[in-house]
Structure 1
């Protein structure tokens, strides 16, 4: 059962709560391993930048099903890791997996990180793997996170670069537009200059954005990848007739075939590795 009625969120994040504690979160919980596999190529670079030490206390923002939180807890073997998210269903899975994997120093909470009263200067490291781009009021959110970061502590984020540099997003948006206007808006934190201004205004310093390009995995083969992508994006075809929907899926399968390798189906992706320090 969803806990959303008991979750206090900033009004600017109510739409995100409805999505992530609803159908979007349910899909991400169902397909948690596939989503993790998709961005697995970023893992080593991300955690190398985080530099988590054995005694650190780590906050994972937008933790989803908790893969990065559990990884962080393993690095912080004598410390702790707290994962926060708006999705009750993903957090249920996160807790179960932490128990099954025997990770005792990890915990999870369904809260809005933009307004949650974290203990001041509690965390040595704040991390977020593609989870920090959805705040309704980013300055308020990062100011709250900076307050919770100890002096000298660090924040490390992965965010997407502009859409034109992300083959996977542009391809799937075009295919599922099916001849209609293609959404062109970039995700938040895709402009490094704006990200630097935001984090400095929030209370961080020494902001650095490094471009990282990695292949993203979508499935073992065309059938496997098509099933996953249609499950995620197929709702965009719901207002089309059957022939138009079938044509879009055929176009998707043809494109997937061009990206098939002996290791699976991969598309190019481009992210920013964002690092900053709390003075």
Structure 2
């Protein structure tokens, strides 16, 4: 069985960008949207009164809970839920954060409206989202010509700042600011390790879908060759670009 892809390792440099932008305070109650295995939630909890991470992946939530317990964090919790319609307590949180967890909503306006209800009036929402796929070296390598991203609910659904502005405004947010951030993402210590790490990802599986064994091996070798071109003494890295989008819940 393939090991789960380590998003925390991949996004380690963006994690620091989100931390700097979020500025979690000692009196904050934090909502982490699309928390994955909970690194961002646990990090926030170490600075805040409390932190709640929410994700739709049962495996990731289970891992997040286990890691929080291992770290002895008593002020953090994790919920298996869909943010689009989860019944959050109204006005519960003073800060919302997300590290690439808000692009996958099938109904983004409903999801952000629900997030706004969960935040206190005037509270901040700070999120990282991918810019357009043409700026992502990792996407060019893994995508090939095999797939197109959906207009909604895909990794680049919030790549257009005007789209994000429209959705957030309709959901009840104001003071929307979009900041360009550029960091490299990490895939492994060498090309073979990077390939093994990414085998379980859908974009990797798409490269060999519907291919016969010979063609699949050729595709695998091409991918390994591409990964090798991105190998440095510190591992396999890809250039990428993202937006940090900050907003405040409107004071009604």
Fold match, TM over 0.5?
A: yes
Matched, 1:31 2:1: no
Distance (Å, rounded) in 2 between the aligned partners of 1:51 and 1:147: 21
Alignment match, 1:68: 40
Shift of 1:234: 4.0
| Aligned counterparts, 1:109-148, within 5 A | 109-148=79-118
Aligned counterpart, 1:210: 179
Structure 1 runs, 4 residues or longer, greater than 6 Å off:
none
The whole-number CA distance in structure 2 between the counterparts of 1:184 and 1:257 is 26
Contact 1:163–1:184 (Cα < 8 Å) also in 2: no
Matched, 1:43 2:26: no
Deviations 1:22-66 (A, max 9, x none): xxxx97xx435x210101001221111111101100001111111
Distance change (3 Å), C-alpha of 1:113 and 1:184: closer
How far apart in 1 are the matches of 2:124 and 2:182?
23
Q: Which runs of 5+ in 1 are unaligned?
A: 1-25
Shift of 1:238: 3.2
What SS class does the counterpart of residue 245 from structure 1 fall into? helix
Residue 128 of structure 2 corresponds to residue 158 of structure 1: yes
- Counterpart of 1:183 in structure 2 is 148
C-alpha distance in 2 between matches for 1:194 and 1:183: 19
Shift of 1:185: 5.0
Aligned residues: 244
Instruction: Write the mapping of 1:188-203 to structure 2, written as runs, cut at 5 A.
Output: 188-203=157-172
Task: Tell me the residue number matched to 1:95.
Answer: 65
Match of 1:270 in 2: 241
Provide the C-alpha distance between the structure 2 equivalents of 1:156 and 1:135, rounded to a whole number of angstroms: 17
For structure 2, the 5+ residue unaligned runs are none
Q: d(CA) in 2 for partners of 1:41 and 1:56? A: 24
- CA offsets 1:120-149 (integer angstroms, 9 cap, x no match): 111110111111111111111101111111
